[in-house]
Structure 1
């Protein structure tokens, strides 16, 4: 038997590619993802609403509500907390977006 080596972290984007607050979508290794920046915190999620399984945005890179504090589904207005992905308003209330582990290092956002 051979031991499998762990998958190395992969750079998604530079931290400066995201406004503050800001959001940006990515097609990454066949997965539709988006990143949310709030200050020095970054959160990455699969771009899929738990209510209907459809992408959250109508316009590229537009994942936040007008306040810039909550993630919003453009289809039915559901609102999600950026730090946990929990839906706090809308038809999928209590459900969660699928979070992708990430960290910030050397000015870049890395997927774990």
Structure 2
């Protein structure tokens, strides 16, 4: 397992991008924190194939309820990666398996 960050490195209700530990993946991993839970996704919109963020670590809506693709405004549930609004409604972000041990977040494959 590859260590990515600490849970507390990410503000509750926010998300950050981290380099993917696999050399075969050229996209970052988005890690979203909700309380003590973290969720991981590949930083690629299922509609346009673009990164979700338009500025560094800018993934969440102002109310912190959804991740947003800043290319076309698609909204994604932080805990499932499901698109609930926008041009890719019903599609999902590609999930990345994470594990948390003693407050450390690991890439689990």
TM-score by length of 2: 0.90
Aligned pairs, number: 104
- 2:62 alignment counterpart: 66
Match of 1:42 among 24, 38, 45: 38
> What does residue range 16-95 of structure 1 map to in structure 2 within 5 Å?
16-29=8-21, 30-95=26-91
Tell which structure's C-alpha radius of gyration is larger: 1
| 8 Å Cα contact 2:2-2:106 kept in structure 1 | yes
Deviations 1:6-51 (A, max 9, x none): xxx2111111110011110112234311100010110010000000
Deviation of 1:77 (Å) = 0.7
Q: Which runs of 5+ in 1 are unaligned?
A: 1-8
RMSD: 1.0
Runs of 4+ aligned structure 1 residues displaced above 6 Å come to none
- 2:101 alignment counterpart: 105
1:11 equivalent to 2:7? Answer no
| 8 Å Cα contact 2:32-2:40 kept in structure 1 | yes
